A and B are shown apart, each in its own frame.
Chain A
Amino acid sequence: MSKVGIPRALLYYQYYPVWRSFFEHLGAEVVTSPPTNRTILTAGISRAVADTCLPVKVFLGHTMSLIGKCDYIFIPSMTSFGKKTYNCSKIIGLPNITRAVLPECPIILDPNIDLEKGRWYFYHQIYKLASRFTSNSVKMKKAIDVAWQKQLAYRKKMSDEKITSNQALFDLYGSSHSASSQKNPQGNLTIALLGHPYITNDEYLNHRIIYHLQNMGANVLTSEMAPQTAIDAAATRAVGETHWAFEPDIIGAGQYYTEMKVDGIITLSAFGCGPDSMMIVWVEHRAKETKTPFLPLSLDEHSSGGAMLTRLEAFLDMIKRKGTKLPTPTPAYC
């Protein structure tokens, strides 16, 4: 039985159930890399060009940890998920970057998922991918159907139960996916945490931000906890025509949660993220208009958990004091 490796980074958090069930139905075994740790991060950083963003470096580290443990590595090139909406260049070129930077990598399965090119192109790509494992097209069709249903159920589970991807994956696949945060905590503040799922769910990269926020007495809402249709609609309300595939996750969720009147918004982005540099400005603008407290956080390989905790504490203190009247400070000299 051939083994397919899936690196636990980037789009993994959004699409793991569909990928896993697809390969399992085709009769392959799925191997996943361990959660991010120091070794993986340094390995990734050592190979990529310095300007590459942190999530891609982490991705390369995960891929390196899979070398020797599987026959294939699955790195799809997720170009476009709908009419005129595209992904970030680095995600589109991910198989190419990996192949160039890690020549020792086993065979890379790189279907090009580009719905802009139409249905037949998509079917062709999936067929090409599946035909490595089976020549039975009925089996392929069944694998696709089951996988897609799994994906829909996964997305619905997150928005219904209001849980993060990590927690949902733990419920579905158990032990290897543990999350330090709790489900549905009863905090007295509601904070929306906006960011790509691959940053908000990678607990090594984000220094367990959700756990810390919950400890400080906040309920954390991420984009996965809102229904997909609602954030899609909110994104269209905010900017009109969408341009990027993650616009609903950041702008849409930002719009949705400000309309819900959350107590504060925190955005979490990786340094040098192209789409984020443009989208966070929108969320900030929206927060300013509605007078919602706003904290932008940016992560890179040098960020430390301690500094982040201080900023989170200060931010939550500010929200708690908002509205309460402070005593008028007495002038220092009269």
Chain B
Amino acid sequence: MKLGIPHFGNVSVSIKAIAQQLGATDSLIIPPPMTQKTLNLGVKYSPYEACLPYKLTLGSLIETCELGANTLAQARGSGICRLGYYAKNQEQILRDLGYSAKFLTIDISHNKLISVLRLIKNLANDASWYEISSAFFFGISKLFALDKIEKVVQEIRAVELEKGTANKIYHEAIRNIDEATKRKEVKDITKEYIERLNHVEKNNKAHPLKVGIVGEIYVVIEPFANMDIEEELGKLGVEVERTMTLSRWVKYSLFLNYLGADEWRKVHHLAKPYIDHDVGGDGWESVGEKILFAHKGFDGIVHLAPFTCMPEIVAQNVMPSTREDIPVLAVICDEQQGKQGLLTRLEAFVDLLEFRRRKNGRRIYNTR
């Protein structure tokens, strides 16, 4: 078996680690990093009205198929947006293209943990459950480490004197963590890089603007899909925060939610006056997070959504009516977007935030 996975944030780092631990590196094909070619492939073979995550994952899967993958992993589920349909549709498209790949689907609406473990079991040629679970924990420890470093990077980017230093260190950290083979090593690398990041020369007087990033999970997490929006905001001297990370998804969706924790309890509660039940995808969370960020005293919100994303359109319609009037920049991601256009909008948005801060000072909402 040769398993191919679509590119999504740092998922490939963790899957690669799992395969290495189980001695199944040969049966895993790491997707090449996303480039314009990936997008072009995806756009060419997708239905024209499909959303950006569909096109990007399809492009990524075609690339892994070209590298010889014969089994592909993709998400599936009900009660969510189009995502539930991706696997069915992409399988047909790949078959028409002449790739005879089988799909292994991960059910992300119901039995999440079981289907993830089943995927690993398939990858590992029936290794014992003990080996699988230890490899799995090692794999996700890399995700947690990377997200921990990224959080520091998001802070440093805004205040570093020489722009781009934090980013360089972050990419080096990804490489090093990718190569680590023991949990201890991962821990040491994380510590080392956080230390290095904290020692980057920075402007200590700066009091950076804070912007929260909300929206659809794929375009929020995958930097290629949102044209490195976090990095660009960092260059403009803005500190970025996002709640949606892969490690959070793993932590809650795969473990804590089964134990009765509710990942989005507070966010849903805040969104209640405007949306009182799930609308699929991340629409409900986007509205709640906007309010949460406003309460935390953020200066603005960037709302990322793929073009024609149904849940995010609901969120976009509802957002202006919330009581907390915090500026929201809606960025619609699709294959037609150009980076310069985005940069101009970001600059204008940052100017607006600065002006607002000078005028109002920091406004903190009553959280009650």
Contact = CB atoms under 8 A, between A and B. Distances in A.
A275 B82 contact: yes
B94 interface: no
A280 interface: yes
Given A100-B320, A274-B82, A90 B313 contact: yes
B103 to A, nearest CB: 13
A114 B317 CA distance: 23
Nearest to B85: A278
A274 B50 CA distance: 7
A93 interface: yes
A88 B280 CA distance: 8
A93 B274 CA distance: 10
Interface string A18-58: 00000000000000000000000000000011011100000
B176 interface: no
Contacts of B96: 285
A206 interface: no
Interface in A86-112: 86, 88-90, 92-93, 96-97, 99-101, 103, 112
A101 B318 CA distance: 7
B154 interface: no
Interface stretch (B32-40, B160-168, B205-213, B302-310): B302-310
Contact of B277 (A52, A112, A298): A112
A272 interface: yes
A92 B277 contact: yes
B294 interface: no
A109 to B, nearest CB: 14
Contact of B314 (A85, A90, A281): A90
Interface residues of B, number: 38
Contacts of B314: 89-90, 92-93, 96-97
A236 B85 CA distance: 14
Contacts of A272: 49, 307-308
B277 A86 contact: no
A116 interface: yes
A77 interface: yes
A93 B275 contact: yes
B57 to A, nearest CB: 14
Contacts of B281: 89
Interface in A240-287: 243, 271-278, 280-282, 285
Interface in B84-99: 84-85, 88-89, 92, 96
A84 interface: yes
A86 B274 contact: no
Interface of B: 47-51, 78-79, 81-82, 84-85, 88-89, 92, 96, 274-281, 283, 307-311, 313-314, 316-321, 332
Closest 3 CB pairs of A and B: A277-B49, A100-B321, A89-B310
Interface of A: 48-49, 51-53, 77, 79-80, 84-86, 88-90, 92-93, 96-97, 99-101, 103, 112, 114, 116, 239, 243, 271-278, 280-282, 285, 298
Given A51-B316, A77-B277, 18 more contacts: A49-B317, A88-B310, A89-B81, A90-B310, A92-B279, A93-B283, A93-B311, A93-B314, A96-B275, A96-B276, A97-B317, A99-B274, A274-B308, A274-B309, A276-B49, A278-B85, A280-B47, A281-B89
17 contacts: A51-B313, A89-B313, A93-B283, A100-B320, A100-B321, A101-B317, A101-B321, A103-B321, A112-B277, A114-B277, A116-B79, A272-B307, A274-B82, A277-B51, A277-B308, A278-B47, A278-B82
